[in-house]
């Protein structure tokens, strides 16, 4: 009996070293002590084998999953785009670079396309945007860029039935599910609705429909409740009122943004279509979408 | 010295991007949401790039990226991380079992990943760091900003819970029977 107890204590002590032994973290002397014990203890050898098996299986299972390709692309793009802006880390030079960026930013805004009524091409009627106008444009742009493009949601096709049955926090829900058939009917077979969901970006909730069209076009209809903003108050001039609804247009980073509003909501069509194509989509859906939103909330 | 180290996006990509898979896997198993994990990793790279001029070439870039990842998770993603502080006095049922549960000869990926997801996040993170990414205890302690002793204790407790969740059900009806069985090995 005493022998068994002695053996159990020795096993207990050695098993206490097993974690560090497995991680190659033991001192040389302690490592030898473990090896000496294992040489004469079948039970501990089996226990160690089991632990090794768990460790190796875990590594294998976790490493089987790869990061999505879109993440790698997105990380590379972010680095390269921001890399153009920073060459030096010294405060003086950083400040000079920041000043250059401000200047080039202003130029970029000035050369971006903001259109007045009747304008038909990007060379007409350019004007600088106020900070309020820039902010309201970013509200729509950010969700398309981050959710549809960077997270790759434009590739994740979800059927209308799935969207309708979804009851999760990202579901369109009974309030907004009706937008899907409405947009589909208005845009016809040229566009496919990939998915509709609710998402949150930069402390703001969005209703987001993602569509794809011909020639690799990716388009978002982004709707969000107003937080005091208004296109009409932001020194913006409507690019078209052809549908009876003022639609405001803007170009940034090779994306076209067209916006319209109700008293409670801001709505944006953001895409890689050309200026006229994006504006046409926005004008086509603006009346019905505006009616839908007004019925929902003012 | 007037200029700090000049940084280059090509150099950053060369040393940092090869660790993207490791960071993503860790994020995915800590926040348990693939979309959030992608967002998190994207942000880690942006933060790392912004402070890359302070990174010392030749030092461990992988450990540096993981430190940024954990900092992001612990400070800004707590709702996903769902942190449940495990005090020293609080032991799970698995941890109180006085025997070494029998582990299957073949462990299926889905079983071990399910078991991993079921253990507290504090244990999960040290297990991922040690078992999957094979960081030294000292590196884990630095990345998580905790003492080495805490790393060892969490690793031991986490692995014990993991083994218990993987254990093969035996005919023995309780711990006492199982203990006898192990004694007999």
pLDDT score recorded for residue B99 = 65
Q: What is the DSSP letter of A240?
A: B
Interchain proximity B20–A72, CB inside 8 Å: yes
Both tokens of residue A74?
């997105």
Q: A217: Cβ–Cβ under 8 A, 6 or more apart, which residues?
A: A271, A272, A273, A277
Chain B residues with beta carbon closer than 8 angstroms to that of A20? 137, 152
Average pLDDT over residues B50-65: 86
Asked if the structure places residue A120 within a domain, the reply is no
- Residues of chain B contacting A74 with CB distance shorter than 8 Å: 42
- Quick check: A6 pLDDT over 80? no
Q: Is B185 on the interface with A (CB under 8 A)?
A: yes
Cα separation, B58 vs A42, whole angstroms: 44
pLDDT at A122 over 70: no
- Please give the pLDDT value at position B5: 57
In a domain, A163, yes or no: yes
Asked if residue A262 lies in contact with residue A293, where contact means CB atoms within 8 angstroms, the answer is yes
Which residue of chain B has the CA closest to A84? B9
Assess if residue A18 is contained within a domain: yes
In this structure, what DSSP letter does residue A158 have? -
Confidence of residue A298 (pLDDT cuts 50, 70, 90): low
Mean pLDDT on A101-108: 35
Of B2, B28, B105, the CB nearest to A90: B2
Domain count, chain A: 3
Tell me whether A45 touches chain B (CB under 8 Å): no
Q: How far apart are CA A239 and CA A261, in angstroms?
A: 14
> Does some domain include residue A224?
yes
Per the CB < 8 Å rule, is B13 touching A79? yes
Option in A64, A79, A93 nearest B49 (CB): A79
Residues in A touching B112 (Cβ below 8 Å): 54, 57-58, 61
A103 CB neighbour count, 10 Å cutoff? 10
Quick one: A100 and A162 in the same domain? no
Domain check: are A57 and A78 in the same one? no
Other C-beta atoms within 10 Å of A28: how many? 7
Residue A121, in any domain of the structure: no
B42, B134, B152 ranked by CB distance to A71: nearest: B42
The answer to whether the CB atoms of B38 and A68 lie below 8 A apart is: yes
Can you give chain B as a three-state secondary structure string? CCCCCCCCHHHHHHHHHHHHHHHHHHHHHHHCCHHHHHHHHHHHHHHHHHCHHHCCCCCCHHHHHHHHHHHHHHHHCHHHHCCCCCCCCCCCHHHHCCCCCCCCCCCCHHHHHHHHHHCCHHHHHHHHHHHHCCCCHHHHHHHHCCCHHHHHHHHHHHHHHHHHHHCCCCCCCCHHHHHHHHHCC
Separation between Cα atoms, residue A270 and residue A273, nearest integer Å = 9
Asked if residue A122 belongs to a domain, the reply is: no
| Minimal CA separation from B25 to chain A, in Å | 7
CATH of the domain at A267: 3.30.200.100
For residues A204 and A274, membership in a common domain is answered with yes
* A175 and A274 inside one domain: yes
Whole-number pLDDT of residue A88: 35
Q: Could you give phi then psi for residue A212, rounded to 5 degrees?
A: -125, 150
Mean pLDDT on B82-91: 54
Mutate to test the interface with B, among A23, A84, A198, A201 (most CBs of B within 10 A): A23
At A262 the pLDDT is: 94
A147, A199 Cβ separation under 8 angstroms: yes
Q: Residue B100 and residue A68: Cβ atoms within 8 Å?
A: no
- What integer pLDDT is reported at residue B151 of this predicted model? 97
Query: Which residue's structure tokens are 């902010």?
Result: A135
Q: How confident is the model at residue A95 (pLDDT cuts 50, 70, 90)?
A: very low
Phi and psi (nearest 5°) for A219? -135, 140
Same domain, A86 and A101: yes
Q: Do B21 and A66 touch (CB under 8 A)?
A: yes
A40 located within any domain: yes
Q: Are residues A35 and A139 in the same domain?
A: no
DSSP conformation class of A119: -
Same structural domain, A45 and A74: no
Question: Are A26 and A73 members of one domain?
Answer: no
State both tokens at A294: 């007004």
pLDDT in tens, A261-297: 999 999 999 998 888 889 899 999 999 999 999 998 8
The answer to whether residues A12 and A41 belong to one domain is: yes
Residue B78 has pLDDT above 80, yes or no: no
Task: Give the mean pLDDT of chain A.
Answer: 80
Judging by beta carbons within 10 Å of its beta carbon (0-12, 13-18, 19+), is residue B29 exposed, middle or buried? Answer: buried
Q: What is the largest CA-CA distance in chain B?
A: 74
Same structural domain, A173 and A217: yes
Residues A143 and A205 in one domain: yes
Instruction: State whether residue B72 sits within 8 Å of chain A by CB.
Output: no
**Domain presence at residue A187:** yes
User: What band does B87 get if pLDDT is binned at 50, 70 and 90?
Assistant: low
Establish if B32 touches chain A: CB-CB under 8 angstroms.
no
B146-170 pLDDT, tens digit per residue, is 999 999 999 999 999 999 999 876 5
ipTM of the complex: 0.84
d(CA A75, nearest CA chain B) in Å = 6
Domain interval for residue A48: 2-63
**A62 and B CB contact within 8 Å:** yes
- A172 and A276 share one domain: yes
Least trusted range by pLDDT, from A137-141, B93-97, B111-115, B138-142: B93-97
Domains and CATH numbers, chain B: 9-81 (1.10.1740.10), 93-183 (1.10.10.10)
User: A58 vs B112: CB contact, 8 Å cut-off?
Assistant: yes
Chain B residues 143-172 with a CB less than 8 Å from chain A: 152, 155-156, 159, 162-163, 166
Q: Name the percent of chain A lying above pLDDT 90.
A: 47
Q: Which residue reads 């098996």 in tokens?
A: A53
The Cα–Cα gap between A230 and A204 comes to: 16
Determine the Cα–Cα distance for residues A227 and B130; give it in Å rounded to an integer: 47
Among A56, A62, A203, pick the best mutation site for testing chain B contact (most B Cβ within 10 A): A62
């Amino acid at each position: 009996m005493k022998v068994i107890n002695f053996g159990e204590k020795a096993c207990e002590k050695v098993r206490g070293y097993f974690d560090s032994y497995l991680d190659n973290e033991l001192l040389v002397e302690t490592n030898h002590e473990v090896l000496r014990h294992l040489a004469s203890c079948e039970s501990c050898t089996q226990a160690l084998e089991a632990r090794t098996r768990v460790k190796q299986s875990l590594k294998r299972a976790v490493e089987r999953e790869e990061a999505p390709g879109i993440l790698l692309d997105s990380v590379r793009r972010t680095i390269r785009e921001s890399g153009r802006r920073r060459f030096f880390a010294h405060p003086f030079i950083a400040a000079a670079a920041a000043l250059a960026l401000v200047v080039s930013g202003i130029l970029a805004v000035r050369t971006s396309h903001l259109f007045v009524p009747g304008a038909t091409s990007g060379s007409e009627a350019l004007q600088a945007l106020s900070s309020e106008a820039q902010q309201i444009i970013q509200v729509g742009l950010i969700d398309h860029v981050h959710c549809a493009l960077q997270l790759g949601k434009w590739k994740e096709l979800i059927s209308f039935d799935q969207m309708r049955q979804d009851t999760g926090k990202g579901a369109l829900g009974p309030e907004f599910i009706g937008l899907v058939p409405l947009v589909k009917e208005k845009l016809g077979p040229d566009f496919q609705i990939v998915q509709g969901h609710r998402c949150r970006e930069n402390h703001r909730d969005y209703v987001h429909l993602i569509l794809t069209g011909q020639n690799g076009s990716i388009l978002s209809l982004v709707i969000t409740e107003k937080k005091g903003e208004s296109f009409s108050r932001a020194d913006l001039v409507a690019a078209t009122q052809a549908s009876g609804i003022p639609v405001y247009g803007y170009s940034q980073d090779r994306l076209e943004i067209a916006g319209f509003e109700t008293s409670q909501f801001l709505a944006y069509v953001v895409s890689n279509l050309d200026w006229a194509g994006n504006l046409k989509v926005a004008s086509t859906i603006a009346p019905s979408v505006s009616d839908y939103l007004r019925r929902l909330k003012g | 010295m007037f200029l700090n180290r000049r940084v280059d996006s090509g150099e950053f990509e060369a040393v940092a991007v090869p660790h993207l898979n490791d960071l993503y896997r860790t994020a995915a198993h800590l926040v348990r949401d693939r979309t959030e994990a992608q967002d998190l990793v994207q942000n880690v790279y942006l933060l790392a790039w912004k402070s890359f001029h302070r990174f010392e070439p030749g030092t461990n870039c992988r450990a540096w990226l993981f430190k940024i990842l954990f900092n992001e998770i612990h400070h800004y993603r707590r709702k996903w991380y769902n942190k449940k502080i495990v005090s020293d006095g609080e032991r799970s049922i698995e941890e109180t079992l006085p025997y070494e549960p029998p582990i299957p000869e073949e462990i299926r990926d889905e079983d071990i990943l399910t078991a991993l997801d079921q253990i507290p996040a504090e244990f999960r993170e040290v297990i991922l760091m040690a078992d999957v990414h094979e960081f030294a205890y000292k590196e884990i302690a630095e990345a998580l900003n905790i003492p080495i002793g805490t790393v060892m204790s969490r690793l031991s407790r986490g692995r014990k819970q993991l083994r218990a969740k993987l254990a093969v059900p035996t005919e023995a009806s309780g711990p006492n029977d199982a203990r006898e069985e192990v004694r007999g090995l």
